[in-house]
Structure 1
Amino acid sequence: MRFGDLVRRLAMDTRPLGIPAYRRLWAGQGVSFIGFQLTSVAVSAQIYDITGSSFWVGMLGPANLIPLVVFGLWGGAVADAVDRRRLLLVGAVIAWTATLALLVQAALGATHVGLLLATVAVHATGFAITGPTRGAIIPRLVPAELVPAANTLNFLAGGVGTVVGPLVGGIVLTQGGFAGAYLIDALLFGAGFYAAVRLPRLKPIGEVTRPGLRSVVDGLSYVAGHPVVMMSFVVDIIAMAFALPRALFPEIVAERFGGSLIAFGWLSASMAIGSVLGGLMSGWVGRVRRQGLALTFVIAAWGLSVAAAGLVGQLWLMVALLAFGGAADLVSSVWRQTILQTHAPDDMRGRMQGVFMVVVAGGPRLGDLRAGATASWFGATGAWIGGGIACAVVVLAVGLAVPAFRNYRPAVRGL
């Protein structure tokens, strides 16, 4: 095979960007996500600055998780019953209001950790509504055969934001403090809001179920009745809850790199760097047929790369190993998202995306809680390495034990 042919096979598929509505949504999400990540870095650094404790940084986990579970499931049910454009706007305004509240607290020099955690919970509420809504919108904007490519582009945009946000965060926190970081997030929010405003009306298609407990239960029943869908959630929870080392970054930076905010920014961006590089070379992802088996091995690779990163002492090598894990995580995210969007009918997609949001956004919060708690018992290094190894062992045992998942092949034409 010639080099040019190899590059074309590996290069990402950008055809969804030819659709104006999707292109605006993608660009707006990418810009606003930089601010979102900047705030995430700032609030964890602020809490550590106030308390000096990884435990309290880890408490960001439940502060985010509870609203994500409640409003993620509810928001997904509502997304199946109302105009998804309007719901996206409502969730965005809630998140933006919370960002402004963080800005005011930082400007006033507030040091009440409980108030910070409560504000983060409000922010998570807005995110829990917009996440499943946006995911349910994508199959309405692009044809089915382009859904994997659209998902890859979305994760790439998120990866870029996760790289740029923390790297800029290291500089902003040094020069402008916490208030400066929250102010930038509040300003970048406008790009995502504009993209949502320009979307066409997206009223529900098919049978409409009144949002409430019954519709949420119907969505969970759908998950329980489809082993492949269920396992796509299970393996992701394993990956994040066991291996994610994010809550340990402040303590590791203090122990190994003298508390350097620049080092903190690089560690925070490392996994997203891998996601971006993996996205740019993702042309092969849609051609993998045994996606369940591949998901299992990719998540095991993520866990082992995290464990290896915890063993080394050089910043550049830690970043490189975490970047490899980030590339593996991007690939697994694309496959899991595509499974959901193509298995479920449109009148169920909001609820599927609600469950997806709870798992994808909630899993890392469980990881934060796990990391913070185990660091109190075994130290930051022990919690980091042990979590990565446990992830690899458990995901191989669980993923290979379910034949429907192990043998799964996509039914979408063109994959």
Structure 2
Amino acid sequence: MIDTRPLSVPTFRRTWIGNSTSYFGFQFTAVAVPVQMFAITGSATWVGLLGVAGLVPLLIFGLWGGAAADVVDRRKLLLVSSVVTWVTTVVLLVQAVLGVRSGHLLLLLTAIQAAGFAVSSPARQAIVPRIVPEPMVPSANTLNYTASTAGGVLGPLAAGVIMGVWSTGSGVIVAYAFDALLFTVTFWATWRLPAIPPAASSASSFGASKEKPSVGLRGIAIGLKFLVTQPVLLLSFGIDLVAMVFAMPRALFPVVAEEQFGGGSAVGWLYSAIAIGAMIGGLTSGWIGRVKRQGLALIVAVVGWGLAIGLAGLAHSLWLMVLLLALAGMADLVSAVYRQTIMQTFAPDHLRGRLQGVFTVVVAGGPRLGDLRAGATADLTSVGTSWVGGGLVAAGLAVVLGLASPALIRYRPERDETDDR
């Protein structure tokens, strides 16, 4: 059973409640924006462009946010980035209430919201060891992941209910309003955080050159330089990009829900299916820590993800499609665990914020590129070709990368289990 001891620490408990509530609320916007975009434009390509709109800010501000998280007070960084995200949600609500039918405005607001997320995410992850005792850090991370996964399941389902009860125009208004309201809990939790300045030892322990850490290009470059010198780490990121770019079908969910299942709550089930599988995978993940060939397991998991996505695209029943997407989510959970573990093995503490920023770019940016690929391919060919073909291509490329990079296949953690904290 999950270890709840970190919740006895008041600061972590408030942060956990705030993060859990805001992530649940964000799912309403994550469903409402593509639904509104499709209602305005009638084009899967425009829905896919939402991924591109969020990608560029993620690339820029994800790397900058990771560097900043190692240098500035993390509480202040979280407050500023949270304000940006909340104001963007309020503007989304206002434009929906006013009936502004502009795909370009949705793209702009998506980009601003992605920038706020990209800055806050590395800092949010980096504060955990500062607010709970060191032995509780793994349990605290598990609680955070479990809460975010539960939000990924319940949020889209609730959004689907809203879309089924109200018309599209009214449904997106209600969805944006829920997100804006729930996000205030995050403000409360972040405001109650103590000051979290950079660790006093960060400057003296910053690499062999003893350079002072910087939030500028030099600070980012140091983290990237370390990344490109570690083939296993680099390939683990690359194989995740393959999985997300070629086999992420979520840009097709509004189209499939409307044309194949008659709209309504079907879109909520499709958006939550992958998270359902990830949550089940997490609850049954005791075996993951016993696997020694982590690189090989990562490749196998990505192949399983691609095949399950491809088969889901062939399903004509909503429940069969949801089941196969859930199986894909279980495989994605496994690959995510090993990617994170490999990164933690390679990353020294004084570079962890920067590499967490790169990790944010890959994890959040890959699916956005996948949105563009899926939407554009669907308009050029068909929804089925885009969905099924993308899954099969991802599985095939994962095999090719595995065979081309034996270092990843042979990778095992260097430390014994007795060395792990």
> 2:125 & 2:181 partners in 1: Cα distance?
24
The CA deviation at 1:177 is: 1.9
The CA deviation at 1:14 is: 4.7
Instruction: Please list, as runs of the form range in 1=range in 2, the aligned pairs for 1:152-231 lying within 5 A after superposition.
Output: 152-173=142-163, 174-175=165-166, 176-205=170-199, 206-207=202-203, 208-231=212-235
Instruction: Please list, as runs of the form range in 1=range in 2, the aligned pairs for 1:376-391 lying within 5 A after superposition.
Output: 376-391=379-394
Structure 2 residue aligned with 1:272? 275
Structure 2 residue aligned with 1:256? 260
Partner secondary structure for residue 404 of structure 2 = coil
Structure 2 residue aligned with 1:29? 19
> 2:222 & 2:329 partners in 1: Cα distance?
33
Of 70, 78, 82 in structure 2, the residue corresponding to residue 88 of structure 1 is 78
Partner secondary structure for residue 111 of structure 1 = coil
Change (3 A) 1:125 1:334: same
- 2:280 aligned partner, one-letter code: L
Change (3 A) 1:405 1:152: farther
The CA deviation at 1:13 is: 4.9
Contact 1:155/1:334 (<8 A) preserved = no
Instruction: Please list, as runs of the form range in 1=range in 2, the aligned pairs for 1:2-401 lying within 5 A after superposition.
Output: 11-14=1-4, 16-141=6-131, 149-173=139-163, 174-175=165-166, 176-205=170-199, 206-207=202-203, 208-258=212-262, 260-401=263-404
Structure 1 residue aligned with 2:207? none
- 2:66 aligned partner, one-letter code: G
- 1:256 aligned partner, one-letter code: Q
* Runs of 4+ residues deviating >6 angstroms: none
The CA deviation at 1:18 is: 4.9
Percent sequence identity over aligned pairs: 53
Q: Which moved more, 1:372-381 or 1:25-34?
A: 25-34
The CA deviation at 1:104 is: 0.6
Contact 1:39/1:185 (<8 A) preserved = yes
> 2:133 & 2:307 partners in 1: Cα distance?
36
- 1:24 aligned partner, one-letter code: R
> 2:137 & 2:402 partners in 1: Cα distance?
25
Unaligned runs of 5+ in 1: 1-10
> 2:334 & 2:139 partners in 1: Cα distance?
12
Partner secondary structure for residue 214 of structure 2 = coil
The CA deviation at 1:365 is: 0.3
The CA deviation at 1:19 is: 4.5
The CA deviation at 1:153 is: 3.1
Contact 1:139/1:341 (<8 A) preserved = no
The CA deviation at 1:339 is: 2.9
Change (3 A) 1:242 1:302: same
Change (3 A) 1:408 1:148: farther
- 2:216 aligned partner, one-letter code: G
Change (3 A) 1:218 1:28: same
Change (3 A) 1:194 1:281: farther
Aligned residues: CA RMSD: 1.9
- 2:217 aligned partner, one-letter code: L
Partner secondary structure for residue 64 of structure 2 = helix
Partner secondary structure for residue 265 of structure 2 = helix
Contact 1:151/1:337 (<8 A) preserved = no
> 1:241 & 1:316 partners in 2: Cα distance?
25
Contact 1:244/1:367 (<8 A) preserved = yes
**1:42-99: CA deviations, max 9, x gaps?**
0000000011110100000111001110111111111111111221121111111100
> 1:299 & 1:91 partners in 2: Cα distance?
32
- 1:298 aligned partner, one-letter code: A
> 1:321 & 1:344 partners in 2: Cα distance?
35
**How many residues get paired?**
404
Is 1:414 the counterpart of 2:414? The answer is no
The CA deviation at 1:123 is: 0.6
The CA deviation at 1:117 is: 0.9
Structure 1 residue aligned with 2:209? none
TM-score (norm 2): 0.91
Partner secondary structure for residue 96 of structure 1 = helix
The CA deviation at 1:26 is: 2.7
